[in-house]
Chain A
Amino acid sequence: MQDIEIAQLRTITDIIKKHYNYDFSNYAMSSFKRRIQRILEIHKYSSVDVLIDKLSLGDTKYFKEFLSEITVNVTEMFRDPTFWKELKENILPTIFANNRTVSIWHAGCSSGEEVYTMAIVLKEMGLLENVKIIATDIDTTILQKAREGVYPLKNMEMNIKNYQRYGGTVGLEKYYKEEGNKAIMDKSLVRDVTYKEHNLVTGGVFGKFDLILCRNVMIYFNQQLQNSVLKVFHESLFKYGYLAIGSKESLIWCEIANKFIVVNNEEKIYKKVKD
């Protein structure tokens, strides 16, 4: 297959902006290009031009499918077990020491494994009832999966290992039941979770939070977009609220970094210290 050129990627982001009002122009080019390549392979398109023609039709149903293919939805429960341990042992206790009710935002929640993880951590701490969680994503198809809370059973092996590394003692099996090759999550865990479509590029601020998790989402953005999204997070946090990003992401290059302090560098947890 012919290599995709930058100009073609630009054409694609222009068309998407024009017809569907989504802005991908500040996504990281290397991964965006691979996503486009992958879409060409899935649909067996002979060239990028076929995709460009399809997108030019302005068919919103087609675009919805495209959107869910262009986004990377890979996720795990208890991804980076040491991160969740740090939340349980230090971050959440500190937050609860100063608040009776706590609000948490999962930005880019994908199929919801991260949300279930949070709910399980809170439940085992006896704090689930005191928390309001909002989980958002740009991709409504994956949000629907998050709402359903039904996962391939084969993923649970890895999730269970992560849970054990985290130091979980109750047993992850307690939180789902098996049906065929599926794991059906215990919905009572997410009773106080609101799932909502939200685009970090254009969506802006919609609430105030004590803790925001945005892990492995901004790696798909270029630095300029990372900067502007961080401004949204800064504004969405209460003073002394926490921001957690992916273990291989960093704030140090961002303009707004000076309004945060590093709480845990290994686990990439930051605290807002200036308005």
Chain B
Amino acid sequence: MTQFKIDSSQYKAIVIGGSAGSFQVISKILSSIPSNFELPIIMCLHRLRHVRNGFVEALNIKSNIEIEEPYDKEAIKRGKVYLAPANYHLGIELGNTFALSTEELVNNSRPAIDITLSTAAYAYRNKLIGILLSGANKDGAIGMKNVHEKGGLTIIQDPQECLIDTMPLAAQKITKIDYVLGVDGIISFLLELDKQIKATATTSS
């Protein structure tokens, strides 16, 4: 198993981007992390623009944490899992709140992963973990670059394991990726991270 060098006290949030071929992966991750997972997980997944209902429900079937589609200016809370709503870009505002937008499509998508990752990188700086999964376009690549440039941690799903490897490969091409992991590796990473955060919390209190 990969050994992770995690400075757990450093991180404040996790952003996961995914597109074609990522649904099963996300489902597996969400069914494997504990219901009291500490860090907020913010997911931006490509989805049908004009179907408002159904997606979050489908993800919730397996998830240990109830997923929410945040409202504009909603405060980002620890222990929550969020999903970018249909037909809106999901950004992170300074001051730890969400900011939705109906701007033009980015990389042919709304929500666009680049927007969620880039705004999160701007708001959380080196306290962010960006994870990019399977997908058929290059959305998320620039976002991951921003995460890295601000000192955050970058993880991609192992392209060899991805149903469609275009998205993680595009990110790998333009920026440094800290970990290339299979689904199980991503899960181990998250569990290890959570364990360390919980351990630090108990020793310091």
Contacts and interface: CB of A to CB of B under 8 A. Distances in A.
A80 B49 CA distance: 11
B102 A30 contact: no
B91 A249 contact: no
A248 B85 contact: yes
A75 B93 CA distance: 23
Contacts, number: 72
B99 A158 contact: no
B92 A219 contact: no
Nearest to B149: A3
B134 to A, nearest CB: 26
B143 to A, nearest CB: 13
A28 B103 CA distance: 13
A253 B69 CA distance: 17
A31 interface: yes
A64 interface: no
A232 interface: no
Given A162-B50, A248-B100, A30 B91 contact: yes
Interface residues of B, number: 24
Interface of A is mostly: helix
B94 A220 contact: no
A29 interface: yes
B94 A219 contact: no
Given A30-B94, A222-B73, A250-B74, 12 more contacts: A28-B73, A30-B101, A30-B119, A34-B91, A34-B103, A34-B115, A72-B102, A72-B104, A158-B50, A165-B50, A219-B72, A250-B73
Interface of A: 3, 6, 28-31, 33-35, 72, 74-75, 80, 82, 158, 161-162, 165, 216, 218-220, 222-223, 226, 246-250, 253
Interface of B: 50, 52, 69-74, 85, 88, 91-94, 99-104, 115, 119, 122-123
6 contacts: A28-B93, A30-B123, A75-B102, A82-B52, A226-B73, A250-B73
